[in-house]
């Protein structure tokens, strides 16, 4: 079950965090993984890791906010490999701030990466998926899309847009045999979290980590590999009947917090 043998998967943000976990798991399940990332060194490192485990992968250094560059890059993947079966949109950035503490430049930056980046990647891939007779798109949203989180105005807005785009694409391309879903993690322990705590709470890292962990009723943050496991199911043939859905993976954050 959950084999991705013979499939090609493009994972944006595949050089770090959740995207890295997804890229690694997909490769272990047999997919040829295209690690798309703005950080070329991180993409190369992930490809080396996959190949060291006898997996198949290639790096694709690209800025998802640049539509022309992304279209060209995706077309190059199709020309080289022949098809794109799976697109995972994991690239994204965060921002802390309320409405009146979010500058126009910060707002625009979030829109360019978290909203336009997802749009650009889907726009670049959808025509190829239609021509080949189908495909799977998985977008990484957040519990912030549906909950009011303090000091996350722009970030929450962007993830709400990701959920809406997911539903629209699922509806519009269902007859093209293209499935589109999204997942909404709560807090996940990645290197980004460690860096955030070090920058903003020097000397209080452990205290703040424990505090953030306990906001999930299960009492801890998620692990990237746990998010990857859900992504694998939704992108596999076992989920062939699943489209147009948003899956919380949140340690009870949405339903059990009061």
Q: Enumerate domains of the chain plus CATH numbers.
A: 8-186+224-247 (3.40.50.720), 188-221 (no CATH)
β-pair type (246-249, 56-61): unpaired
155 part of the active site? yes
Cβ-count burial 77-92 (b if 16+ within 10 Å, e if not): bbeeeebbbbbbbbbb
**pLDDT score of 258:** 60
Would you put residue 245 in left (φ > 0), alpha (ψ -120 to 50) or beta?
Answer: beta
Q: Catalytic one among 155, 201, 233, 247?
A: 155
Side-by-side strand order, sheet with 246-249 = 56-61, 32-37, 8-12, 86-89, 135-140, 178-185, 246-249
Consecutive 10-residue averages of pLDDT for the chain (258 residues): 97 97 98 98 98 98 97 97 97 94 97 98 98 98 92 96 98 98 96 86 92 94 97 98 97 87
Q: What is the pTM of this model?
A: 0.95
CA–CA distance, 169 with 162 (Å, rounded to integer)? 11
> What are the residues whose beta carbons fall under 8 Å from the beta carbon of 143, sequence distance 6 or more?
149, 184, 185, 186, 248, 250, 253, 254
């Amino acid at each position: 079950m959950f084999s991705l043998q013979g499939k090609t998967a493009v994972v944006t943000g595949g050089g770090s965090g959740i995207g890295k976990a997804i890229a690694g798991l997909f490769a272990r399940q047999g997919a040829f993984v295209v690690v798309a990332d703005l950080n070329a060194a991180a993409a190369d490192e992930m490809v080396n890791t996959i190949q060291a485990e006898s997996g198949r992968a290639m790096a694709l250094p690209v800025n998802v906010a640049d539509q022309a560059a992304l279209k060209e890059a995706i077309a190059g993947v199709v020309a080289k490999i022949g098809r794109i079966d799976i697109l995972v949109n994991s690239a994204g950035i965060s921002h802390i701030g309320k409405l009146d503490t979010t500058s126009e430049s910060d707002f625009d930056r979030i829109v360019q990466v978290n909203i336009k980046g997802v749009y650009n990647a889907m726009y670049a891939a959808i025509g190829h998926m239609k021509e080949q007779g189908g495909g799977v798109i998985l977008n990484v949203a957040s519990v912030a899309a549906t909950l009011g989180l303090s000091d996350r105005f722009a970030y929450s807005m962007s993830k709400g847009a990701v959920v809406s785009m997911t539903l629209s694409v699922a509806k519009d391309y269902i007859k093209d045999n293209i499935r589109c879903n999204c997942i909404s993690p709560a807090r996940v322990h990645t290197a980004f979290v460690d860096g955030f705590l070090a920058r903003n709470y020097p000397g209080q890292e452990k205290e703040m980590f424990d505090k953030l962990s306990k906001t999930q009723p299960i009492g801890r943050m998620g692990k990237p590999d746990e998010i990857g496991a859900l992504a694998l199911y939704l992108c596999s043939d076992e989920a062939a009947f699943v489209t147009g859905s948003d899956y919380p993976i949140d340690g009870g954050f949405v339903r059990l917090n009061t």
